Amino acid sequence: MKVLVIGSGGREHALCALLGRNATGTPPRLFCAPGNAGIAEVAQCVPLSATDINGLADFAGQEQISLTIVGSEAPLAAGLADEFERCGLVVAGPSQRAAQLESSKVFAKEFMLRHRIPTARHRVASNVAEAREILRGSGFGPEDAPVVVKADGLAAGKGVVVARTRAEAETAIEQLMEGGRVGREAAQRIVIEEALEGREASLLLWTDGRDYALMPPARDHKRVGENDTGPNTGGMGAITAPGVLDEEMLALAVREIVEPTLAGARDEKLNFRGVLFVGLMLTPEGPRVLEYNVRFGDPEAQAILVRLRSD
Ligand code: AMP
Ligand code: GLY
Q: Kindly report the CATH number assigned to the domain that includes residue 125.
A: 3.30.1490.20
More confident residue, 133 or 234: 133
Domain end point (choices 178, 194, 210): 194
Q: Which domain holds residue 258?
A: 196-307
Q: How many domains does the chain have?
A: 3
Whole-structure pTM value: 0.95
Average pLDDT over residues 81-102: 97
Q: Is any ligand 1 atom within 6 A of the Cβ of residue 231?
A: no
Q: Is any ligand 1 atom within 6 A of the Cβ of residue 181?
A: no
- Residues 13 and 31 placed together within one structural domain of the fold: yes
Residue 91 CB coordination number (10 Å):
27
Q: Output the CA 56–ligand 2 centroid distance in Å.
A: 24
- Residues 270 and 238 placed together within one structural domain of the fold: yes
Q: Whose CA is nearest to atom 15 of ligand 1?
A: 290
Q: Kindly report the CATH number assigned to the domain that includes residue 67.
A: 3.40.50.20
Q: What is the dihedral of CA 15, 17, 21, 23, to 10 degrees?
A: -30
Provide the pLDDT for residue 144.
82
Ligand nearest the Cα atom of residue 236: 2
Query: What span, in angstroms and rounded, lies between the C-alpha atoms of 172 and 160?
Result: 9
pLDDT tens figures, 112-127:
999 999 999 999 999 9
Angle at 265 between CA 282 and CA 274, to 5 degrees: 80
Provide the pLDDT for residue 228.
85
Atom of ligand 1 nearest to the CA of 105: 3
Residue 105, domain member (yes or no): no
Cα R_g (the chain), whole angstroms: 20
Q: Output the CA 308–ligand 2 centroid distance in Å.
A: 19
Confidence band for 310, pLDDT divided at 50, 70 and 90: confident
- Residues 176 and 211 placed together within one structural domain of the fold: no
Residue 261, domain member (yes or no): yes
Residue 114, domain member (yes or no): no
pLDDT at 299 over 90: yes
Ligand nearest the Cα atom of residue 119: 1
pLDDT tens figures, 189-229:
999 999 999 999 999 999 999 999 999 999 999 889 999 88
Task: Please answer whether residues 75 and 52 qualify as being in contact, where contact means their C-beta atoms are separated by less than 8 angstroms.
Answer: no
Provide the pLDDT for residue 235.
87
Q: Kindly report the CATH number assigned to the domain that includes residue 259.
A: 3.30.470.20
Provide the pLDDT for residue 184.
80
Of the candidates 259, 251, 238, 250, the residue with the CA atom closest to the CA atom of residue 307: 238
pLDDT at 24 over 80: no
Task: Please answer whether residues 291 and 307 qualify as being in contact, where contact means their C-beta atoms are separated by less than 8 angstroms.
Answer: no
Mean pLDDT rounded to a whole number for the chain? 94
Find the residues whose C-beta lies inside 6 A of ligand 2.
220, 234-235, 293, 297-298, 300
pLDDT tens figures, 96-107:
999 999 999 999
